[in-house]
């Protein structure tokens, strides 16, 4: 299965571009079976030369969905597909960059129709998409728009499949789907592990842990380790002799156990030791008029933050979302640096705090509601998620804003009695990485059950 796509961007510095339009056609080798087409608000200005080239301008994208709003659909339509694009290194890099800004590792195999065309249709004057398809008699409309270019790429790819007498493309597809053959030692290790959510530990012959990882599907993730060709994977394949694992049921618990045990065991091949999981944080301040301002800044360990983010792009996405959700002011959220009122006031989505038209108490009350919802400071609460079995649930305990540990329960009375609750908890270290993991996970999984503890009742 192939996901044939085209992306239009804002232009600009390398890895600072934003997507303005995307078109994806899911192609089974014979026909298109699904499609996704959308303009996207890149949350940044489009370069003038790009506006002239594509006809897409900032005004057209004002009400378009932001990338985080369409990310799930892109993941769904490209799952188990090979990305196909004309100059795929560009389109694939742009997609990975956008997902990285959201803290998501987007990985797909890819094929480039430029490279395939050079091999299967040699001696063309040009391999740019427009000139190439016209020389082949393939109709193209809406050049430099995602839909037109993606449709032309679909037609070009069909032609390439028919010209591929040696079936190089199909062989590559099969190779990608079945991966390369793994040796008997690694196959036996893959058989050991389950297709469950949890943490896995790779051991050297003397029992030393050389790598710790977590996954929603341990078997699938271990298989990826054993079929990847990068240097770290090859080293792991050479050294590993055994794999142990612990099923957690909950991805959140797996993330917390992975974080805790990497710090304790310091495995040889875990890069997570060398970098923090976040570098941006949300801070509050009071301006001269008494309004509470919220601003994202680089993490400062000397200051108390409300919550943290993996990167600035992820932070900005949530700030825009919260501005709408709590009816806040773009200026006081540090999202509008213009003079006078903010843009949201113009479209009646801000009550006028930016021009002192809203009372300080009314505005600050909504800000405090946001802060209270997203900060654990001084709070006593539990986070309840799925367990390892059908009749079991997992629990994370937070007391006085500090992460205490994780556990499992079957009966509600176990979490309604603080002494029993503490007894079923496996203690873990409170640190900034653990706090970030919990806040980020709760933020992204709105259906998760978060319960405030009333210690007066359960102590």
**pLDDT tens readout for residues 396-455:** 999 888 999 998 988 777 777 777 788 788 889 888 888 889 988 888 887 888 888 775
Using DSSP's 3-state secondary structure scheme, residue 261 falls into: helix
pTM for this entry: 0.56
- Best CA proximity match to 313, nearest among 127, 27, 1, 67: 67
Q: Residue 179: pLDDT above 80?
A: no
- CB atoms near residue 28 (< 10 Å): 11
- Decide if pLDDT at 16 tops 70: yes
The residues spanned by each domain of the chain are: 2-176, 184-269, 280-374, 381-458
- Comparing C-alpha atoms, which of 169, 252, 164, 225 is closest to residue 439? 252
pLDDT, tens only, 429-442:
888 888 889 988 88
| pLDDT > 70? residue 140 | yes
d(CA 365, CA 353): 12
Write down the mean pLDDT value for the chain: 86
pLDDT in tens, 294-315: 999 988 878 888 888 888 888 8
Answer whether 299's CB lies under 8 Å from 281's CB.
Answer: yes
Could you tell me which residues come within 8 angstroms of residue 437 by beta carbon, excluding any fewer than 6 positions away?
252, 255, 256, 259, 277
Task: Give the pLDDT of residue 178.
Answer: 45
- CB 193: neighbour CB atoms within 10 A? 20
Q: Could you give the angle at the alpha carbon of 124 between the alpha carbons of 123 and 125, nearest 5°?
A: 115
Using alpha carbons, list the distances in angstroms from residue 341 to 63, 179, 287, 319, 337. Answer: 20, 57, 16, 18, 10
The model's pLDDT over 89-126, given as tens digits with 9 standing for 90+, comes to: 888 888 988 888 888 888 888 888 888 888 888 888 88
Structure confidence at residue 457 (pLDDT): 46
Instruction: Quote the CA–CA distance of 301 and 402 in Å, as a whole number.
Output: 16
Question: Residue 217 and residue 199: Cα distance in Å, rounded?
Answer: 10
Q: 135 is written with which tokens? A: 């020389």
* pLDDT-based confidence at residue 65 (cuts at 50, 70, 90): very high
User: Where do the H-state alpha helices sit in 102-230?
Assistant: 113-120, 129-135, 146-163, 168-178, 184-192, 218-227
212 — pLDDT class (breaks 50, 70, 90): very high
Superfamily of the domain at 2-176:
Ribonuclease H-like superfamily/Ribonuclease H (3.30.420.10)
Question: What pLDDT score was predicted for residue 194?
Answer: 92
The secondary structure element, H or E, covering residue 317 is: helix 312-325
What digits encode the pLDDT tens for the residues 330-350?
999 999 888 889 998 988 889
The helix (H) or strand (E) run that includes residue 52 is helix 48-54
Contact 397, 425 (CB under 8 A): yes
Shared fold status for 2-176 and 184-269: no
Percent of residues, the chain, with pLDDT higher than 70 = 94
Three-class DSSP category at 330: coil
Rg (CA), the chain: 26
Q: 25 pLDDT exceeds 80? A: yes
**Cβ partners under 8 Å of residue 257, min gap 6:** 199, 214, 246, 248, 406
The pLDDT score that the predictor gives to residue 173 is: 63
Residue closest to 88 by CA, chosen among 107, 106, 113 = 113
Distance CA 342, CA 335 (A): 9
Is the separation of the CB atoms in 292 and 286 below 8 Å?
yes
Burial of 330 (0-12, 13-18, 19+ CB in 10 A): buried
Write out the two tokens for 56.
Answer: 């897409």
Q: Which two tokens stand for residue 431?
A: 């640190």
Architecture of domain 184-269: 3-Layer(aba) Sandwich (3.40)
b/e per residue, 224-252, with b = 16+ CB within 10 A? Answer: ebbbeeeeebeebbebbeebebbbbbbbb
Quick check: 429 and 260 in contact, CB under 8 A? yes
pLDDT of residue 183: 73
| Spatial distance between the Cα atoms of 14 and 260, rounded to a whole number of angstroms | 35
């Amino acid at each position: 299965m192939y996901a044939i796509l085209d992306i239009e961007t804002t232009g600009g510095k390398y890895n600072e571009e934003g997507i303005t339009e995307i078109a994806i056609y899911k192609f089974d080798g014979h026909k298109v079976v699904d499609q996704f087409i959308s303009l996207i608000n890149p949350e940044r200005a489009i370069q003038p030369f790009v506006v002239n080239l594509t006809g897409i301008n900032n005004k057209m994208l004002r009400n378009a969905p932001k990338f985080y709003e369409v990310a799930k659909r892109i993941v769904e339509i490209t799952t188990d597909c090979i990305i196909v694009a004309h100059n795929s290194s560009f389109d694939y890099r742009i997609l990975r960059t956008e997902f990285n800004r959201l803290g998501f590792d987007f990985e797909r195999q890819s094929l480039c129709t430029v490279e395939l065309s050079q091999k299967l249709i040699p001696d063309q004057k040009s391999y740019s998409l427009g000139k190439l398809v016209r020389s082949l008699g393939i109709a193209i409309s809406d050049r430099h728009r995602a839909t037109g270019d993606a449709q032309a790429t679909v037609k070009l790819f069909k032609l390439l499949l028919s010209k591929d007498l040696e079936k190089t493309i199909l062989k590559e597809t099969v190779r990608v789907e079945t991966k390369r053959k793994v040796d008997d030692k690694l196959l036996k290790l893959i058989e050991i592990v389950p297709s469950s959510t949890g943490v896995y530990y790779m051991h050297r012959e003397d029992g030393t842990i050389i790598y710790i990882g977590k996954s929603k599907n341990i078997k699938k993730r271990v298989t990826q380790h054993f079929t990847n060709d990068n240097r770290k994977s090859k080293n792991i394949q050479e050294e590993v002799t055994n794999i142990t694992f612990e099923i957690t049921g909950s991805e959140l618990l797996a993330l917390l156990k992975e974080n805790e045990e990497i710090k304790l065991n310091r495995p040889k091949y875990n890069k997570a030791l060398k970098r923090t999981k976040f570098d941006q944080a949300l801070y509050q301040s009071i301006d001269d008029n008494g309004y509470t301002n919220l601003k994202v800044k680089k993490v400062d360990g000397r200051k108390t933050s409300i919550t943290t983010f993996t990167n600035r792009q992820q932070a900005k996405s949530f700030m825009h979302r919260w501005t709408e959700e709590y009816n806040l002011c773009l200026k006081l959220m540090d999202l509008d640096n213009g003079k006078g009122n903010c843009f949201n006031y113009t479209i009646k989505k801000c009550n006028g705090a930016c021009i002192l038209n809203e009372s300080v108490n009314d505005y600050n009350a909504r800000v405090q509601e946001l802060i209270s919802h997203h900060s654990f400071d001084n709070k006593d609460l539990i986070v309840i998620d799925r367990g390892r079995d059908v009749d079991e649930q997992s629990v994370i305990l937070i007391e006085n804003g500090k992460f205490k540990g994780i556990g499992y329960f079957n009966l509600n009375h176990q979490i309604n009695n603080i002494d029993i609750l503490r007894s079923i908890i496996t203690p873990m270290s409170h640190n900034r990485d653990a706090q970030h993991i919990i806040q980020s996970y709760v933020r992204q999984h709105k259906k998760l059950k978060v319960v405030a503890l009333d210690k007066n009742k359960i102590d």
